[in-house]
Structure 1
Amino acid sequence: MRELPGWLRGAVTLWLASWAAVHLYFGGFGFPAPVEMRAIHLLVFTPPLFLMYPALRGRSPAHRPSVPDWLWFLVSAAPHVWVLWNAGEVNDRMEYVDPFTPEMMALGITCVVCLLEAIRRAVEPGLAVMVAVCLLYMAVGHHLPGVLNTRQFTLPEIVEAAWLVPTAGGVYGPLTGIVATTIAVFIIFGSFMQASGTGRLFSNFGAAVAGRYSGGTAKVAVISSGLFGTMSGSSVSNVITTGSMTIPVMMRTGYKPGVAAGIESASSVGGALMPPVMGAAAFVMAEIAGIPYGDIIVAAAIGAVLYFFAILCAVHFEAKRLGLAPMPLADIPAWREVLADAHLALPIALIVWLMMERWSGNYAAFCASLAMVGVAFLRRRTRMGWRDVLRALETAGMTMAPLAVSIAGAGIVVSALTATGMVVAFGGIIKEFSGGSLAVLLVLLGLTVLVLGMGIPTTPSYIIAAAIGVPQILELGRYLGVEPLQAHLFVFYFAVLADATPPVAAAAFAAAAISKSSPMMAGLHAARFAVAGFTVGFGFIYDPGIMLRGSVTTIVVATLIQACALVLITASYAGFLVRPLGVVLRMVVGLAGLMAAFVHAVPDPVRLAASCGVLAALVAWQVLTTRAPARG
């Protein structure tokens, strides 16, 4: 991102902060008509990206926009101004039936080209390439053989599908709508949390809870990064924000740079899995699956706890194996220091309560945002002045701008895949390779999502994979009674984990830059610390008890199976339980954990008894053999 000159920086800051405030107002008092709201959202957040991000890093001016940047700024606004001015006509026209005029054609091409350039600059070049490839496929797909063959599309049909199909997809589709409404207000709430000092509350809480134990610095990083991730919604920004503090501290206390980067990456990625916010993808899930957001956060709660439980287990075993000490007592805050910020948890409780009471997400976030500002005034140390509020709104606007274009790009991809039938064709390919086996289908789909996540952010990756894979999961899983929420959470988990999985892991690469370690090693360590994401993802399908489905017994048994399996797996790769494990024992323990987690054909009571039995026997044996010499 550029360091803009003072006057321009002030103008961009004021612009983004003002429109973030407008979005907050809309969240509480009602949004304009859908097409108008989407036009406003894209109009106010797309053009500034051309001023903030250089066209070519290293060659474009680093401290000022060039003349071409200003031209991009102006031209990118034109299509959205036209849609806003003609919102009534856009609402009334019949998609693919009413004429797509030459004026619309020119504006549509302009919109798509500007969107691709904005994504390339401000988000990920890989996502821009994917959008362009999908549009190219619409143009040449009729020349391709076999399942890739599609009907011939005219240029107006391609441009209309990409731009102006508000009811189905494209730039102005429902995905842009959910970002412009609910997600935008939640982003503002997260920014107010940061500005009020809630991050300090999370950090101090983590240190007070875990700092006194072996490897305390890493445990503090896990807790604080996970809690912070519920605010930021972005694994990379979470790594940069919290990792700049936690990674150096972990390295000073004895963790290798790659391991410290892996711990931070896995913890930061998990923030998007932790209710009540869960990042932008969870709101998109609520929209495209038609499932109330409150139901999603309830179903995801146990899975998120298991994810961080596994990281803490892994960190503990790693610290014991290395003989690492707890945090220095002088660095551990007293509980009175934690309680001094405890009032900042009230708005979080408010947003959860409102969501549980079935209030709309945007209204819940609006109320919680105002409550955060009000509650912060209760103590001098958390009080937010007008400059703090302005900075929070600016941060929200800076977050919304890249997200707006990335989701619009994902809308084009979904529109193109749907119009060409590739959603059905690609899903059919995966289904054919699976041989009718749900387990094989899930493995193939999980790998597909991880590959998608190499080049595009979590939310677009989830959107595309859900369009392709969820219908196939539901079809093959019907004999198990698999519900849509189970299938969507499976895809969502793998989309999130892609940021921590090699060979291209955005969060791990960011952490590696801080620790000055190998990005590949950081990614490998992040993947092993995030192992619970893989087991829980499959658990959503085969062990719905972890989604609070079924009787109390079913829920407890499913949760205990996952917990025992994760302890065994993390102990295996750390090489430590009560004391160090030998190579053979590590393999046996790891195999037992993997079988407990993934051999779903075995009845749950048997899996629980076997995993608990192996764990209890191993602990007892290690305790007894450790104490025996002392008695002699």
Structure 2
Amino acid sequence: MVNKNDLNEQELLAKYDREAAYRTNLKKWAWVITIIAISLTFFQLYTALKGSYVSMIQGAIHLGAGLSLIFLLYPVKRSLIKNPGIAWYDVLFAFLSLGCNFYIIYNYEWLTTRALTTGFSTLDVIVASLTIALLLEATRRAVGLPIVIIALLAIAYGLWGKYIPVFGHRGFSWEGLVRRLVYSDNAIFGIPIQISSTFIYLFLFFGVMLTKTGIGQFFNDLAFGATGRFTGGTAKAAVSASALQGMVTGSSVANTVGSGSFTIPMMKRAGFKPEFAAASEASASTGGQIMPPIMGAAAFIMAEYTGIPYSQIIIIAIVPAILYFSGVFMGVHFEAKKSGILGLPKSELPSFKSLAKRADLLLPLFTIVGMLFYGYTPTYAALWGILVSFLVSLTRKDTRMSIRDVFQALEQGARVALPVIAACASAGIIVGIVVFTGLGGKIAGGILDLAGGSFFLLLFFTMFACILLGMGLPTTANYVVTASMAAPALLEFGVPVIAAHMFVFYFGIVADITPPVCLAAYAGAGIARANPMKSGINALKLAIAAFIIPYVFVYNPVLVLEDATFSTFTPVLLTALIGMTAISAAMMNYFVYKPLFVERIMLLVSGVLLIYPNNLVFSFIGLVLLVSIGTIQHFRKKSHLNQKANA
């Protein structure tokens, strides 16, 4: 149970997650929002079943409904969230959003064929301009200002590029630019919104169904049943639960608040410091975006950009995810050992028998994974996952959905998709400018020049850019931008496509736990009543694996299954796992016993040597060093215990 003094979950989300800062007192407009939202979900389900329309029409319906809902739900300022009703200008913006996208649908043939030769009318240009303005304002409200600033800078670059040295281009007129951005399938209606209007929406709705049916709670019970009895059991259960929840949510802050409202108070009661409890939940929840099979929304776009089927991407992502959560898990273990925090008593944990009786609740997840592995499309797999989750919920009273629950789920499916819709469309503006002006190749060349031929510096600069962008952009938009501008530089160095894209994907995600802008850690700190910055630093220490693993699989792509065989893959995985253990011990300042300063440095060196790719000699030296430190600490611990016993 969450303490009465803990902040309301929705208030926390609204405070730390721009995507959750929506109106709650809708008055007479509530039914309008419900109708539009349910209609959008039905449209997505219908097109998933019967087949999508052409990209611009599918995207225009998706975007038009999404923007109208954003204006009705998200006020112009956060401070107006609790105000009753909806301002008249927001209603106007909502109807203009529907109108502009209806114009695109109605005039699709003209805009994409004849207008290209005969010229666009003044009305065409006005509608396109208004569409861009409405999109950017909706994105500011639902996602935040940073992505809007980047999109505006991209537009300015498209208009006045001829005045910019080095990265300049011939420049576009306003008419030429807006028609490319709106009336083509290479920008606003490009790949990001195409994926959002098909795969992403359905998987987000699948996550809503799991929550509504209570199947998501089963993940928490499963985690506590499996790990709760061990040393530091509450924190280990929190890590495991967040990994399971992250499979289907793909949102760092939402997962932190959703799971953390239950796990963080438990960790505090067990004896963990508030800052560490917040950090444990934040680091584990952030890792949910790299946890197969669902991962974050950006993973679907990665499949399109790389040409690698999504069913293969989730297999490739398994090893990096294991390494990440192993690092967090070991960090929690060492902190618990250092603090003397034991597991929970058996009476407070769900029994194996009770969990086994509810094992059928895992069927929706198995359905999606199985269908993806058997070659079905993500759209079809998501549809079946949604259906199975509904059918499974009917088998018991505590999970059964009423008619009201079903309609609430249909509405919530649209609500959770709104920030993704806005982010994908705005990211499309940026990508469109990058493509139209050739900026991507110029930036890739600039990064290569800046690195001066050093592969490590190239990786470092790319990492820095991804984290910096990730502090202001949601993961999906961050990945779209960095995949267009930074990943090509890695490809120039001969990095395999999947390794390059996973590299930028990872570092865009860890921005959520990288101080000073570590929103997931701030959200956890809000629940724990902890110092936000200390929580962020602790999360960074726990998730140190996330800053190392991408370098490992770029230097040694066998970890992302590139040309992997059993003999090449196994030793690399084992040494990486042992190395992560050593580095976690160094970060948490505990191994077998609390280390001396020199031992802590040696643990760090040992971990780096074990992880260092393609060098079994280094790995052997690292292993010997680790065993030596462990042996020394074992005897020192034994000596201290004997001295206490004899005192």
Matched, 1:397 2:414: yes
Q: Tell me the residue number matched to 2:295.
A: 278
Q: Tell me the residue number matched to 1:488.
A: 501
SS of the residue 1:213 aligns to = coil
Distance (whole Å) between structure 2 residues aligned to residue 183 and residue 487 of structure 1: 22
Q: Tell me the residue number matched to 2:278.
A: 261
Q: Tell me the residue number matched to 2:625.
A: 614
Matched, 1:444 2:458: no
Matched, 1:101 2:115: no
Identity %: 32
Distance (whole Å) between structure 2 residues aligned to residue 22 and residue 484 of structure 1: 34
Distance (whole Å) between structure 2 residues aligned to residue 540 and residue 326 of structure 1: 34
Q: Tell me the residue number matched to 1:177.
A: 194
Distance (whole Å) between structure 1 residues aligned to residue 618 and residue 60 of structure 2: 53
Matched, 1:128 2:128: no
Q: Tell me the residue number matched to 1:538.
A: 551
Distance (whole Å) between structure 1 residues aligned to residue 33 and residue 91 of structure 2: 13
Q: Tell me the residue number matched to 1:407.
A: 424
Distance (whole Å) between structure 2 residues aligned to residue 533 and residue 239 of structure 1: 17
Distance (whole Å) between structure 1 residues aligned to residue 72 and residue 129 of structure 2: 21
- Structure 1 window deviating more from structure 2 (379-388 vs 123-132): it is 379-388
SS of the residue 2:79 aligns to = coil
**1:38-437 pair list within 5 angstroms:** 38-58=59-79, 62-92=83-113, 99-145=119-165, 147-166=166-185, 168=186, 170-437=187-454
Distance (whole Å) between structure 2 residues aligned to residue 370 and residue 221 of structure 1: 29
CA contact (8 A) 2:609 2:619 kept: no
> For residues 273-305 of structure 1, what are the alpha-carbon distances to aligned partners after superposition, in whole Å with 9 as ceiling and x for unaligned?
010001110000011111100110111101101
513, 530, 540: which one aligns with 2:526? 513
583, 587, 594: which one aligns with 1:580? 594
CA contact (8 A) 1:347 1:371 kept: yes
> For residues 243-301 of structure 1, what are the alpha-carbon distances to aligned partners after superposition, in whole Å with 9 as ceiling and x for unaligned?
11112222222222222221111111100101000111000001111110011011110
Distance (whole Å) between structure 1 residues aligned to residue 91 and residue 35 of structure 2: 18
Q: TM-score, normalised by structure 2?
A: 0.92
SS of the residue 1:279 aligns to = coil
SS of the residue 2:236 aligns to = helix
Q: What amino acid is the match of 1:131? A: A
553, 557, 562: which one aligns with 2:567? 553
CA contact (8 A) 1:194 1:231 kept: no
Distance (whole Å) between structure 2 residues aligned to residue 255 and residue 10 of structure 1: 45
Q: What amino acid is the match of 1:223? A: S
Distance (whole Å) between structure 1 residues aligned to residue 405 and residue 575 of structure 2: 46
CA 1:592–1:349: 2 relative to 1, 3 Å: same
Distance (whole Å) between structure 1 residues aligned to residue 80 and residue 321 of structure 2: 43
Distance (whole Å) between structure 2 residues aligned to residue 510 and residue 60 of structure 1: 19
CA contact (8 A) 2:29 2:86 kept: no
Distance (whole Å) between structure 2 residues aligned to residue 629 and residue 133 of structure 1: 62
Distance (whole Å) between structure 2 residues aligned to residue 299 and residue 5 of structure 1: 44
Distance (whole Å) between structure 1 residues aligned to residue 583 and residue 65 of structure 2: 48
Distance (whole Å) between structure 2 residues aligned to residue 630 and residue 142 of structure 1: 74
Structure 1, unaligned runs of 5 or more: none
Deviation at 1:53, TM superposition (A): 0.9
Q: Tell me the residue number matched to 2:584.
A: 570
- Structure 1 window deviating more from structure 2 (440-449 vs 189-198): it is 189-198
Q: What amino acid is the match of 2:461? A: L
Distance (whole Å) between structure 2 residues aligned to residue 108 and residue 586 of structure 1: 60
- Structure 1 window deviating more from structure 2 (390-399 vs 103-112): it is 390-399
Q: Tell me the residue number matched to 2:17.
A: none
Deviation at 1:327, TM superposition (A): 2.1
Q: Tell me the residue number matched to 2:53.
A: 32
Distance (whole Å) between structure 2 residues aligned to residue 266 and residue 74 of structure 1: 41
CA contact (8 A) 1:28 1:367 kept: no
CA contact (8 A) 1:214 1:316 kept: yes
> For residues 205-252 of structure 1, what are the alpha-carbon distances to aligned partners after superposition, in whole Å with 9 as ceiling and x for unaligned?
111111111211111111111111121111111112111111222222
Deviation at 1:458, TM superposition (A): 0.4
Deviation at 1:527, TM superposition (A): 1.5
How many residue pairs align between the two structures?
621
Distance (whole Å) between structure 1 residues aligned to residue 431 and residue 456 of structure 2: 26
Distance (whole Å) between structure 2 residues aligned to residue 448 and residue 179 of structure 1: 25
Deviation at 1:617, TM superposition (A): 2.4
> For residues 372-400 of structure 1, what are the alpha-carbon distances to aligned partners after superposition, in whole Å with 9 as ceiling and x for unaligned?
11122223332222222222222211111
CA contact (8 A) 2:159 2:173 kept: yes
- Structure 1 window deviating more from structure 2 (16-25 vs 439-448): it is 16-25
CA 1:362–1:91: 2 relative to 1, 3 Å: farther
Structure 2, unaligned runs of 5 or more: 1-21
Deviation at 1:421, TM superposition (A): 2.3
Distance (whole Å) between structure 1 residues aligned to residue 255 and residue 82 of structure 2: 28
Q: TM-score, normalised by structure 1?
A: 0.95
CA contact (8 A) 1:229 1:268 kept: yes
Deviation at 1:62, TM superposition (A): 1.8
SS of the residue 1:578 aligns to = coil
Distance (whole Å) between structure 1 residues aligned to residue 114 and residue 465 of structure 2: 37
Q: What amino acid is the match of 1:261? A: A
Distance (whole Å) between structure 1 residues aligned to residue 202 and residue 392 of structure 2: 18
CA contact (8 A) 1:303 1:546 kept: yes
CA 1:629–1:32: 2 relative to 1, 3 Å: closer
CA 1:290–1:494: 2 relative to 1, 3 Å: same
Deviation at 1:29, TM superposition (A): 2.4
CA contact (8 A) 2:290 2:321 kept: yes
CA 1:14–1:614: 2 relative to 1, 3 Å: farther
